[in-house]
Structure 1
Amino acid sequence: MFAYSFFFITAFFYIGLGLFTASKPTLVGDSAMGYGLGLAFLGVGFAISSLVLTISVHAKGGFDWVGPETGIRTTLVILSWLLVALATFFCAAFKWEWHTDTVYPQFLHWLAVHHGQLWIPLLWLTACFFSLNAGLQSTVSPHAFTIPFWVGLGSSAVFCTGLLVGYFRDTLKTVETEVASQNRQQDEWHQKNLETIAAHKPEDPIFNLLSYSTQYRPEDIKRAALAKIKAKPNWETELLELLTNKNTYQEVYYFLDGNRVEHPEQFAEPLNQSILWLSATIIDDIKDSNNLQHWSFDMYGIDRLLRAIDDQFLDQRVDFYPNVVRLKQALDTPPPERFKGVRFSITGVVNTWLKEHKKIN
């Protein structure tokens, strides 16, 4: 009796889908929303009720004719339900909602407009009906329920294969669109940077150009920035003034990371002193922050600072090691209680530098 009840419930949703998609709806405004909700309700209702029907019939042995092996039989029965449910819903959806520029195979729309949401589930329901009990099966030829079952399974499998192909095409198209958009934005930003550098006047401070001169900028941007910086006769003096200023020293790290100065002996001690300023800033920021994250100090130029030391300042008779230890201690400052679990990723870079230079010091 249970299986019969869900057969009629499934048939109710099946008929509802057929009537609901019989005429073209108004797909604008509230009408479009109402149509979508109605389609979803009927589609989900059909899927759930047909699943219960499938399980109940299979549990009673009604699908024993599908195959001799229990595992294979169960797989085929559940697979048939899934494919038929998907094919029914998307045939109903594609009948009136189909875009000419879609990447989904056109035969999906052809099946939809030729009432696939009616005849595909009808084949499957026919097989279910004659599988409700052995008495019904004995009244007809086995072909009356085996042929509809396999034809319905095959048709829905073809339809769902098309869905899968369309899904992968659509995903690929989305990725390509996003990549193209990102490339376009990068090109625009790249050009904007070049224009900013080109607009820099000789009397302007080099402070505004330093971030463009780091080794990780695109080569043309870096060359343009360096040309503007070194066009000033006193560029090293101005750079040194920035390094000895608590408000601007971090910008100098951009330049020193990959660009050699002509008089490194003049920069070594101020650079070492800047590490103490940086440590003090980190301590204050840890204590006062209300949003500490593992990346909180990634943009403080610590990695650039350490690369610059290795590149051109280790042989300037200045011992950087003690101050880098102070920097490590600053990063280990106990944070507020709510940030106890935060571990700063840049700490690993500092630890590696200290380990590599321990013998030197």
Structure 2
Amino acid sequence: MTFFGNLALLLALIGYFSLATMAGKPTPGGDAGVGHAFALLFAYAAVAVGITIATALVFWKGGLGWISEKPSLRNALVVLGWTSVMVFSFFAAMNGDGGAPWIMRFFGKYVAVWALPPLLAVGFVLVNPWLQSVIPNVIWQWVLKGTVVFCAISCLAIIGEWLANIPVEAAQRAEAATNEEVQRKQQFLKEIENTDAQTSLVTILVFTNKYQDTEVRNAALAKIKSNPQWQQYLVSRLETPWAGEVFAFLADNDVPDKSLFFRSIEKGILEMAKQFEDGMRRTHTFYDGQFYSETEDVLETIAKFEGSEINYVPAVRKLRAALDTPLESYQNRANLRCIPVLDKWLKKHAH
């Protein structure tokens, strides 16, 4: 046991000297910073492995029997003490910047330099019985107890800081999310305000769906309706690549004169079929929800315009057929959720 115990503590000692040489030095930037971090981790690993092996050997040989006469209590204290030392050693090794726990910053950047030697010294006493006959037991036992208690209290402080920071960090995240939402909302409102109501309404149709912020949606609707010919404007865009945006508007908003849209909706669906087919040909990696929102917008629009003499089934059938466009071998397929939705609609409405 003595030989292997000393070998393990020698490994821990080498790791300690490595930590001591890097203690207090600022973390370099770039690739050098990554190398510095790995060096700290390897040095800590040497300390941790060495102390763990030495502790296991001493415990196995009964060298810690003085801790308590009760085996269960002794085992618990050894495990808790070892855990405290490992956790403390890790944070002491990584205590090189402002991200360390408060207790480590309080002790300073050189905490690993002065906190670990007493532990290593007691380790050599425990694995070398002849040293125990030279050094009074009360000295090394109280050194060990004091070091472990010191580590345990530090760990409790770290845990306490972590628990105290949970609500603080949650509040900070909530505030950041709120600020981001406010900024995004102001950006949308500014974009709506700067939109030309005569020529560029199609660019703000995305702000009119039911999921948008109420203020943003109302501002977009007001801008759109400030154009006296806004309905005719939307009708004309149904036969263009902007058809998807128009369908998104029609799905969630009413129009005064539905008759203007009856025929153009059919043309818009055919335009969407072209876009679906183009998307099927151009997409490399599909995902399940692809084309789903567009499909919902089309079907919801049709539902709102029921009662016209136009039969939209043929157009929807072409929309569905576009999703059967043959794929190339390099394209990654997916189970498109819009397909069963369209199949169900066609089954219900086909005569």
TM-score tier (shorter): 0.7 to 0.9
Q: Secondary structure at the match of 2:335?
A: coil
Tell me which amino acid in the other structure corresponds to 1:314. Answer: E
Tell me which amino acid in the other structure corresponds to 2:15. Answer: F
In structure 1, the partner of 2:298 is: 305
Unaligned runs of 5+ in 1: none
- Structure 1 residue 284 and structure 2 residue 274: aligned? no
In structure 1, the partner of 2:88 is: 87
In structure 2, the partner of 1:8 is: 10
CA contact (8 A) 1:321 1:354 kept: no
- Structure 1 residue 270 and structure 2 residue 284: aligned? no
Tell me the distance in 2 between the aligned counterparts of 1:150 and 1:110: 22
CA contact (8 A) 1:88 1:116 kept: no
Report the count of equivalent residues.
347
Residues 1-361 of structure 1: matches in 2 within 5 Å? Answer: 1-15=3-17, 17-18=19-20, 21=23, 25=25, 39-66=40-67, 76-91=77-92, 93-94=94-95, 97=96, 99=98, 104-105=101-102, 107-112=103-108, 116-118=111-113, 120-132=115-127, 143-144=138-139, 146-167=141-162, 179-243=174-238, 245-298=239-292, 301-310=294-303, 312-321=304-313, 323-347=315-339, 350=342, 354=345, 358=348
Tell me the distance in 2 between the aligned counterparts of 1:200 and 1:20: 59
Per the TM alignment, residue 37 of structure 1 is displaced from its structure 2 partner at its CA by 6.4
Tell me the distance in 1 between the aligned counterparts of 2:78 and 2:250: 69
Tell me which amino acid in the other structure corresponds to 1:2. Answer: F
Q: Secondary structure at the match of 1:200?
A: coil
Tell me the distance in 2 between the aligned counterparts of 1:216 and 1:163: 43
CA contact (8 A) 1:91 1:109 kept: no
- State the identity as a percent: 21
Tell me the distance in 2 between the aligned counterparts of 1:91 and 1:169: 21
Tell me the distance in 2 between the aligned counterparts of 1:329 and 1:73: 74
CA contact (8 A) 1:334 1:340 kept: no
Tell me which amino acid in the other structure corresponds to 1:247. Answer: P
Q: 1:9 to 1:207 in 2, by over 3 A?
A: closer
CA contact (8 A) 1:296 1:344 kept: yes
Per the TM alignment, residue 256 of structure 1 is displaced from its structure 2 partner at its CA by 0.4
Per the TM alignment, residue 156 of structure 1 is displaced from its structure 2 partner at its CA by 1.0
TM norm structure 1: 0.75
Q: Secondary structure at the match of 2:274?
A: helix
Tell me which amino acid in the other structure corresponds to 2:46. Answer: G
Q: 1:314 to 1:120 in 2, by over 3 A?
A: same
TM norm structure 2: 0.77
Q: Deviations over 1:99-124 (max 9, x none)?
A: 4xx7943x4333347x6435543443
Tell me the distance in 2 between the aligned counterparts of 1:193 and 1:259: 19
Per the TM alignment, residue 177 of structure 1 is displaced from its structure 2 partner at its CA by 5.0
Tell me the distance in 2 between the aligned counterparts of 1:320 and 1:146: 89
Tell me the distance in 2 between the aligned counterparts of 1:122 and 1:309: 79
Tell me the distance in 2 between the aligned counterparts of 1:148 and 1:268: 89
Per the TM alignment, residue 238 of structure 1 is displaced from its structure 2 partner at its CA by 2.1
CA contact (8 A) 2:243 2:272 kept: no
Tell me the distance in 2 between the aligned counterparts of 1:77 and 1:68: 13
Tell me the distance in 1 between the aligned counterparts of 2:274 and 2:146: 76
Tell me the distance in 1 between the aligned counterparts of 2:243 and 2:61: 80
Tell me the distance in 2 between the aligned counterparts of 1:360 and 1:296: 25
RMSD after superposition: 4.0
Per the TM alignment, residue 49 of structure 1 is displaced from its structure 2 partner at its CA by 2.2
Tell me the distance in 1 between the aligned counterparts of 2:283 and 2:29: 47
